[in-house]
């Protein structure tokens, strides 16, 4: 429809292992595409307008800390700097380390210290 804002379909991996769920699933959201919208902006839109329980990492927002790293359409990217240009699939970097949705346990943690 002419004059309507463009939208993209965001397919986001969802899982909550703390609730006993061991199998993940994908949930789709339709998001209005904004000029220079990052993957992080898209995740924030979904969190604010559809599902406040979506878990993802936010920190520096400048591509410096790499905390927001996710897989975007199968490739490792930083959510804060990767621009959305069309439909997108967003997944955690490492499914075996997922805590909830896109949040993963840090590989730098040393469990041997108390």
Q: Which CATH number goes with the domain that contains 68?
A: 3.10.20.30
> Residue 78: inside a domain, yes or no?
yes
Bin 53: left if φ > 0, else alpha if -120 < ψ < 50, else beta. Answer: alpha
pLDDT digits (tens, 9 = 90+) for 14-23: 987 776 767 7
HSE-up of residue 100 (Cα within 13 Å, Cβ side): 9
In a domain, 109, yes or no: no
pTM: 0.82
Average pLDDT, the chain: 84
């Amino acid at each position: 429809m002419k004059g309507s804002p463009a939208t993209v379909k965001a397919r986001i991996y969802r899982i909550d292992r703390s609730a006993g769920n061991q199998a993940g699933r994908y949930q789709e959201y339709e998001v209005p595409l904004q000029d220079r919208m990052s993957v992080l902006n898209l995740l924030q839109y979904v969190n604010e307008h559809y599902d406040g329980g979506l878990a993802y990492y936010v920190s520096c927002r400048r591509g410096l800390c790499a905390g927001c790293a996710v897989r975007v359409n199968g490739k490792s990217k930083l959510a804060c700097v990767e621009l959305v240009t069309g439909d997108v699939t967003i997944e955690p970097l490492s499914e075996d380390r997922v805590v909830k949705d896109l949040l993963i346990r840090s590989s730098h943690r040393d469990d041997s210290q108390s």
